[in-house]
Amino acid sequence: MEGEKINSFNFKKTPLFNKHGSKITYTKIPSTCSLSNKAFRLPLIWVYNLSDLSLMDKAPFKSKVECASVLKINRNTVATHLNTNISYKNKWLFTCKQLTGKELSQFVVPSKVWEIVTGELLADGHINYDPLKAPQINGRLVFTFSKKILYYVRYLKYDALAHICTDSEPTPWPNPIEGQNTKQYWFSSKRLASFTLLHNIWSKQINGKSVKILPKNIAELLTPLGLAHWIMGDGYFDDSVKICTDNFSKEEVGILIKILSDKFGIKATLRKRLNPNSKRVWRISISKLSMEKLKLLISPYMIPEMLYKLGIK
């Protein structure tokens, strides 16, 4: 069978006679488990372009050497990434198995998930990726929430973002096995090339550290579904909805307020606040006159347990 290892041989005594004598020699003959050329064939290497999920021209390749030669990269690079689901330069996926459309689809994030991700990144979500120390390792999304809303953590991981997450349990912090009371739960997405690309538009390097910024096309990215998740993730109700935008600059918060008005017809104002470190931060306060419009717009996308953030009991 193809790929099967042959561990033993049958040795058959085969007399060879000629007219000059009767000397006997022995020949090594493979056993009947069949040693065809096919059995020794190395696995083919399929290479997919993750930007459009297409099979690379000239693939599949017969060897790592051939693959490396065509891509003009080192053979060890192919060996390192082969069958790992970790792309090379966030673009090429190397596998010894021809992938079906369904299998390839795991590398495509549905538009609905992108909308949710936008809202969660406007809140406290962030992208874990190190372009300086580990550029070859794809990015992943990381979410952390208070223990009090574990139900929301589970909703995000197993429902809203199930397409990009594993089935593992959310991680408690501190871990109760260490004898401490759990205060938060966190989980991360799978590592995908698309999240590495996402990191490029949601962050910039300042003094060697990635800092979250607003994407230039945030007005296009933000939808009612994303707005619902933004408020579920980082909003609270105090006479009207307030949104914690502490991680963004005053100018960026002003951009978000303008988007709420221009795109959704929701009026809001800028509020100054001092955080526990006495640092001045800026938040969004939704106008009471826009609350009914906001409720109609996003309540269909909110889970019942989170409606209290709209003042709905």
d(CA 302, CA 229): 7
CB 241 within 8 A of CB 291: yes
User: If pLDDT is split at 50, 70 and 90, which confidence band does 18 have?
Assistant: very low
pLDDT of residue 208: 77
| pLDDT higher than threshold 70 for residue 155 | yes
Return the higher-pLDDT residue of 135 and 186.
186
For the full predicted model, state whether its pTM sits above 0.85. no
Residues 275-298 pLDDT 10s: 877 789 999 999 999 999 999 999
Distance CA 62, CA 42 (A): 7
pLDDT digits (tens, 9 = 90+) for 87-129: 787 678 999 999 988 788 777 778 899 999 999 999 999 999 9
Residue with the larger pLDDT of the pair 52 and 73: 73
Average pLDDT, the chain: 85
Task: Determine the pLDDT at residue 257.
Answer: 98
Model pLDDT, residue 41: 67
pLDDT(220) > 90: yes
Confidence category of residue 186, pLDDT binned at 50, 70, 90: very high
27 has a pLDDT exceeding 60: no
What are the tens digits of pLDDT across the range 221-244? 999 999 999 999 999 999 999 999
Closest CA to 189 of 157, 212, 159: 157
pLDDT given at position 253: 98
Task: Say how many C-beta atoms besides its own lie within 10 A of residue 192's C-beta.
Answer: 23
Count of C-beta atoms within a 10 Å radius of residue 125:
25
Largest CA distance in the chain: 114
User: Residue 249's pLDDT band (boundaries 50, 70, 90)?
Assistant: very high
Residue 147's pLDDT band, with cuts at 50, 70 and 90, is very high
Answer for the pair 200, 127: CB distance below 8 angstroms, yes or no.
no
Q: What does the alpha-carbon distance between residue 149 and residue 46 come to, in Å, rounded to a whole number?
A: 44
